[in-house]
């Protein structure tokens, strides 16, 4: 599964070869509607996102701050069903054969029909990885075995409270990339101190060969650039979701322009980019 | 808290080392919270080995809460039900008087225990979720007692519906935070309490109000509430010289019920009924997770939940705010599946009738939650023999509910 032939590993490798961090962007599926989502996903890719995290809406998103919580409620309010999310993923895979797609969400909607069903749907839809916020390594049996058997990466989270003694537990069974949650908190709220991020990434890199992506509280191109200098990937969620929140059905061009500024900031870190620009 | 007997094949030896009661329970939380929950488990294990912890807990229950509270023979209720039963039928009904505790419900037992744990962990701030405000008031009370800073998360709708308790919490020095997200009721209050906790893990202890949430909460809340069943057991042996035939308790998250049931679980002759809120009826809006839900994951545990086919949580309804929650503690899900406890749905209307009946017959105004258990006893007692014994957990007093009941009865006060 960590072979270089899968889309996620291939993309991290390509970014690394280009001398820059991967840009990982999050939006909630079905926000504001299922009909509006394909254009928003395309805008992410056009703006230069390397990896798409597609949020599965849940009525009770306990780890999310107001921006993503509202996106969840907008999506469910407009009638988004799980089958719609897999249809969005399937269609995305046809339009974008190379762009890795990761589903992110909470355990209950993923497990309600059984982990086998969920893993089969992911594989059939061309989903590359899954982040399940409320299944820690201790409950891996709920979802890990089915995903691994289906060849889907289970992406684990490391947080500021994950100490050295616990880190091996988190890494055992992790694949795709390691998601470093930069702040002890919920999405979209505080922003981590750059020094703390650098320290954390160094520790994680010493413990694993998985690419390290950093997220939670990354809102601006400047922040993305700073984190991109030390991490293999930068995750931006709430800032994009806010744009969808304010522009609704017409959000796609605004999303594309914002993502392009993030990507530009990451490109500017690249020695190759500086050479060609010079 | 010192006398858990670990019999082989005992029903009292759950959960397992990873916090599972059969297929239920567990620890479904974000990674940020995992280290804290593991630490809480460690501290709890140490506390249980420490005689000083138990001594302080017992002492506070005595001098501050007012334990032991009585086991009272409800003679007029018993006779009234016998009058409508076949000859020779109509069990003797005893009430376990948790409503006589300080703050008026069983909730305080658990809050004292968890505040002692918070102090042991060096946390100076406590938070809690509350629906009707009973657990919020109990938490604010122990926070005052221990000199801790206290924040209570409460759905904005409930803040509006439960003004007297909101004022009580403020008097006790707590900050009440109205939760405007989602359905603005208990489950959303719990979401926001979890959000606050995950952002303040370094100095904050979360006092969960029922026997639910991530391991070790269901276990430790049960253990603190087991004082109810331990006392009831001693009291009935003293009064009647034998164990009861049946126990009945209302089930919201399930803390008062498991507190009464747990010390009797290995006594096969003692039958048990947990009463779920059937609201407008199981075909309409209700809060009966076992009767109308299925297994799922929410708020840190796997348990029965009200949910749709996509696993979205559906809104619960009960006239009783303390039962108005779409889940149930994991140990009850397990006891339901193995058939050790029967769970019975009781509607809003049935509870309202029993609320009035107990008030008029016994001079005890029950909490609406407890009125659900009385309604169940009214159905079951007439089917039992007159020499059989039934204990009902009177989990709280009904003063907090008089506005709700008056409005349901069309009375202006
Ligand atoms: C008096 C009373 N009884 C019962 C309950 C239900 O909670 P649990 O099932 O945890 O005992 C509550 C909750 O607020 C309550 O106030």
Residue A274: predicted pLDDT: 60
- pLDDT above 90 (res A278): no
Residue of B95, B109, B248, B255 to mutate, ligand 1, most atoms within 8 A of C-beta: B255
pLDDT of residue A2: 41
Q: In percent, how much of chain B has pLDDT > 90?
A: 94
Asked whether the beta carbons of residue A59 and residue B182 sit closer than 8 angstroms, the reply is: yes
Q: Which residues contact B370 (CB under 8 A, 6 or more apart)?
A: B99, B250, B392, B393, B394, B395, B396, B398
Environment class of B2 (CB within 10 Å of its CB; exposed 0-12, middle 13-18, buried 19+): exposed
- Please state, in angstroms and rounded to a whole number, the distance separating the CA atoms of residues B185 and B198: 20
Other CB atoms within a 10 A radius of the CB of residue A81 amount to 17
What pLDDT, in 10s, does the model give residues A175-227?
Answer: 999 999 999 888 887 888 999 999 999 999 999 999 999 999 899 999 999 99
- Please say whether the beta carbons of B184 and B157 come within 8 A: yes
Pick from B188, B297, B307: CB nearest A134: B297
Ligand 1 centroid distance, CA of B221 (Å): 13
Nearest alpha-carbon partner for B29 in A106, A165, A68: A106
Mean pLDDT of chain B: 96
Contact A156, A170 (CB under 8 A): yes
Res. B196: pLDDT tops 80 = yes
Ligand 1: lining residues by beta carbon, under 6 Å: B 105, 107, 131-132, 134-135, 210, 250-257, 322-323, 367, 369-370, 395-396
Alpha carbon distance B268, B235 (integer Å):
19
Confidence of residue B181 (pLDDT cuts 50, 70, 90): confident
Helix (H, G, I), strand (E, B) or coil at A131: strand
Strand partners, B358: none
Measured CA to CA, the distance from residue A268 to residue A1 in angstroms comes to: 31
Separation of B99 CA from ligand 1 center, angstroms?
11
Could you give the angle at the alpha carbon of B270 between the alpha carbons of B281 and B247, nearest 5°?
Answer: 40
Q: What angle do CA B270, B288, B77 make, to 5 degrees?
A: 50
Backbone dihedral region for residue B66 (phi beyond 0: left; psi -120 to 50: alpha; all else: beta): left
CB contact under 8 A, B30 and A63: yes
Write down the pLDDT at residue B185. 86
Backbone angles phi, psi at B33, to 5 degrees: -85, -20
Q: Residue B351: pLDDT above 50? A: yes
The tens digit of pLDDT for each residue in B57-80 reads: 999 999 999 999 999 999 999 999
Q: What does the alpha-carbon distance between residue A146 and residue A119 come to, in Å, rounded to a whole number?
A: 6
* Residues A162, A200 contacting (CB under 8 angstroms): no
For residue A271, count other CB atoms closer than 10 A to its CB: 10
Between B107-120 and B217-225, two packed helices, what is the crossing angle to 10 degrees? 120
Question: What is the ipTM metric for this complex?
Answer: 0.95
**CA nearest A136 in B: which residue?**
B31
**pLDDT exceeds 70 at position A155:** yes
Hey, are the CB atoms on B312 and A190 less than 8 Å from each other? Answer: no
Of B96, B100, B104, B106, the one to substitute when testing ligand 1's pocket (max ligand atoms within 8 A of C-beta) is: B106
In the numeric block, the tokens 């950093």 are attached to: A214
Which of A184, A189, A216, A238 best probes binding to B when mutated, by most B CB atoms within 10 angstroms? A184
Indicate the residue of B182, B194, B296 with minimum beta-carbon distance to A108. B296
Chain A interface test: which of B29, B41, B311 (most A C-beta within 10 Å): B311
| Strand duo A233-236 + A22-28: pairing | parallel
Chain A contacts of B35, Cβ < 8 Å? 161-163, 166
Q: Is the pLDDT of residue B1 over 80?
A: no
Q: What is the mean pLDDT of residues A232-251?
A: 97
Contacts of A112 in chain B (CB under 8 A): 296, 307, 309-311
**Could you tell me the end-to-end alpha-carbon distance of chain A, in angstroms, rounded to an integer?**
39
The minimal CB distance from B195 to the residues A62, A112, A139 is found for: A62
Helices (H), B84-185: 107-120, 134-146, 156-161, 163-171
CB atoms within 10 A of CB A16: 14
A40-84 tens-digit pLDDT: 999 999 999 999 999 999 999 999 999 999 999 999 999 999 999
Average pLDDT over residues A126-141: 98
Give residue-wise pLDDT tens across range B304-321.
Answer: 999 999 999 999 999 998
Q: Residue of the nearest CA to atom 7 in ligand 1?
A: B252
Mean pLDDT of A128-142: 98
Q: Is the pLDDT score of A275 beyond 70?
A: no
Cα of A186 to ligand 1 centre, how many Å? 29
In A, which residues are within 8 Å of B28 by CB distance?
A: 107, 134-136, 139
pTM above 0.80, yes or no: yes
Report pLDDT for B269: 97
Rounded to whole angstroms, the Cα distance separating A260 from A45 reads 9
CB contact under 8 A, A59 and B312: yes
pLDDT of residue B46: 98
Residue window 216-235, chain B: list those with CB within 8 Å of chain A.
none
Residues 6+ apart with CB under 8 A from B23: B295, B302, B333, B334, B337
Tell me which residue of A99, A98, A89 sits closest to A127, measured CA to CA. A89
Q: For residues B256 and A95, what is the distance between their CA atoms, to the nearest angstrom?
A: 56
Active-site residue set of A:
53, 64
| Minimum Cα–Cα distance from A64: chain B residue | B195
* pLDDT score, position A271: 84
Q: Does B297 touch chain A if contact means CB atoms closer than 8 Å?
A: yes
> Which of A138, A182, A215 to probe the B interface (max B CBs under 10 A)?
A138
Q: Which of ligand 1's atoms lies nearest the C-alpha of B135?
A: 14
**pLDDT score recorded for residue B132:** 84
Q: Kindly state whether B307 is in contact with chain A, defined as any CB-CB distance less than 8 angstroms.
A: yes
Residue A5 has what pLDDT? Answer: 58
For residue B298, the distance in angstroms to the closest alpha carbon of chain A comes to 7
Q: Provide the shortest C-alpha distance from residue A19 to chain B (in Å).
A: 30
Pairing between β-strand B294-298 and β-strand B300-305 as defined by DSSP bridges? antiparallel
Average pLDDT for residues B342-356, to the nearest whole number? 98
Question: Are the Cβ atoms of B28 and A135 closer than 8 angstroms?
Answer: yes
B307: helix, strand or coil = strand
Residue of chain B minimizing CA distance to A182: B32
């Amino acid at each position: 599964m960590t072979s270089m032939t899968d889309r996620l590993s291939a993309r991290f490798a390509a970014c690394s070869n280009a001398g820059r961090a991967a840009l990982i962007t999050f939006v909630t599926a079905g926000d504001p509607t299922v009909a509006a989502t394909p254009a928003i996903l395309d805008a992410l890719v056009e703006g230069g996102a390397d990896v798409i995290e597609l949020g599965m809406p849940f009525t009770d998103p306990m780890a999310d701050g107001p921006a993503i919580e509202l996106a969840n409620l907008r999506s469910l309010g407009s009638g988004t069903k799980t089958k719609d999310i897999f249809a969005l993923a399937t269609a995305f895979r046809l339009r974008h054969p190379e762009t890795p797609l990761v589903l992110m969400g909470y355990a209950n909607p993923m497990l309600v029909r059984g982990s086998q069903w969920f893993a089969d749907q992911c594989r059939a839809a061309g989903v590359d990885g899954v982040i399940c916020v409320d299944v820690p390594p201790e409950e891996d049996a709920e979802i890990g075995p089915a995903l691994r058997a289906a060849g889907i990466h289970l992406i684990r989270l490391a947080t500021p409270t994950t100490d050295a003694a616990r880190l091996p537990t988190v890494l055992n069974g992790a694949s795709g990339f390691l998601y470093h949650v930069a702040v002890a908190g919920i999405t979209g709220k505080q922003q981590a101190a750059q020094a703390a991020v650098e320290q954390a990434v160094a520790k994680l890199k010493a413990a694993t060969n998985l690419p390290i992506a950093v997220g939670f509280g990354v809102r601006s191109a400047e922040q993305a650039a700073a984190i991109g200098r030390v991490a293999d990937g930068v995750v931006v969620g709430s800032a994009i979701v806010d744009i969808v929140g304010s522009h609704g059905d017409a959000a796609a061009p605004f999303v594309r322009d914002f993502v392009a500024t993030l990507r530009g900031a990451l490109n500017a870190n690249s020695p190759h980019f500086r050479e060609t620009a010079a | 808290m010192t006398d858990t007997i670990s019999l082989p094949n005992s029903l009292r030896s759950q959960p397992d080392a990873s916090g599972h009661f059969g297929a239920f329970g567990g620890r479904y939380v974000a990674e940020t919270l995992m280290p804290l929950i593991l630490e809480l488990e460690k501290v709890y294990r140490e506390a249980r080995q420490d005689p000083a912890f138990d001594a302080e807990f017992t002492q506070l229950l005595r001098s501050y809460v007012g334990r032991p509270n009585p086991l009272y023979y409800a003679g007029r209720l018993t006779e009234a039900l016998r009058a409508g039963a076949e000859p020779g039928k109509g069990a003797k009904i005893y009430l376990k008087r948790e409503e006589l505790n300080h703050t008026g419900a069983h909730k305080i037992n658990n809050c004292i225990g968890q505040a002692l744990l918070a102090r042991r962990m060096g946390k100076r701030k406590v938070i809690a979720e509350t629906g009707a405000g009973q657990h919020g008031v109990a938490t604010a009370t122990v926070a005052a007692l221990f000199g801790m800073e206290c924040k209570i998360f409460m759905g904005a709708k409930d803040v509006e519906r439960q003004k007297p308790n909101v004022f009580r919490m403020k008097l006790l020095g707590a900050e009440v935070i109205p939760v405007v997200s989602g359905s603005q009721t208990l489950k959303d209050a719990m979401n926001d309490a979890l959000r606050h906790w995950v952002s303040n893990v370094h100095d904050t202890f979360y006092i969960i109000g029922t026997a639910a949430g991530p391991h070790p909460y269901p276990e430790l809340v049960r253990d603190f509430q087991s004082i109810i069943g331990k006392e009831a057991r001693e009291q009935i042996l003293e009064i009647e010289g034998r164990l009861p035939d049946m126990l009945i308790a209302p089930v919201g998250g399930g803390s008062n019920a498991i507190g009464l049931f747990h010390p009797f679980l290995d006594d096969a002759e003692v039958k048990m009924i947990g009463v779920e809120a059937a609201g407008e009826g199981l075909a309409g809006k209700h809060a009966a997770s076992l009767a109308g839900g299925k297994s799922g994951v929410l708020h840190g545990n796997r348990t029965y939940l009200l949910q749709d086919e996509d696993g979205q949580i559906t809104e619960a309804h009960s006239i009783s705010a303390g039962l108005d929650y779409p889940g149930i503690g994991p140990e009850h899900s397990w006891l339901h599946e193995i058939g050790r406890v029967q769970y019975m749905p009781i509607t809003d209307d049935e509870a309202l009738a029993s609320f009035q009946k107990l008030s008029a017959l016994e001079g005890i105004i029950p909490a609406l939650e407890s009125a659900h258990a009385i309604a169940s006893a009214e159905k079951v007692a007439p089917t039992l023999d007159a020499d059989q014994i039934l204990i009902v957990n009177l989990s709280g007093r009904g003063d907090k509910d008089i506005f709700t009941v008056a409005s349901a009865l069309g009375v202006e006060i």
